[in-house]
Amino acid sequence: EERRKLERFSLSLPAKLETLEGSLLLYTSNVSSDGAFFPTVKPLPAGTSVRISLALSSPQSKSPGDITSLVEI
């Protein structure tokens, strides 16, 4: 049974996840207007603070834009 209320899209965006222990270069596997999924080899512990940077580009832009957010898992 699908629990999500918002539509999710299969979208692979390059991302950098930074924690106190280091950083990971990943790609999203799907996104919605309320979140994104980042597949990892080992899940991060609950309560971990993570700075997420997504590289975005648009056809109108000559250079990619970045979005950075600090979240807690």
Residue 8, classed as helix, strand or coil, is coil
For residue 59, what pLDDT is reported?
60
Question: Could you read off the pLDDT of 19-39 as tens digits, one per residue?
Answer: 998 998 999 888 888 888 888
Model confidence pTM above 0.75: no
For residue 62, what pLDDT is reported?
56
Q: Residue 11 CA to chain centroid, in angstroms?
A: 10
- Read off the DSSP letter of residue 9: B
Q: With beta carbons less than 8 A apart as the criterion, state whether 72 and 47 touch.
A: yes
CA-angle at 56, arms to 53 and 60, nearest 5°:
155
Question: Could you read off the pLDDT of 39-70 as tens digits, one per residue?
Answer: 888 888 888 898 888 877 656 555 556 677 76
d(CA 51, CA 39): 16
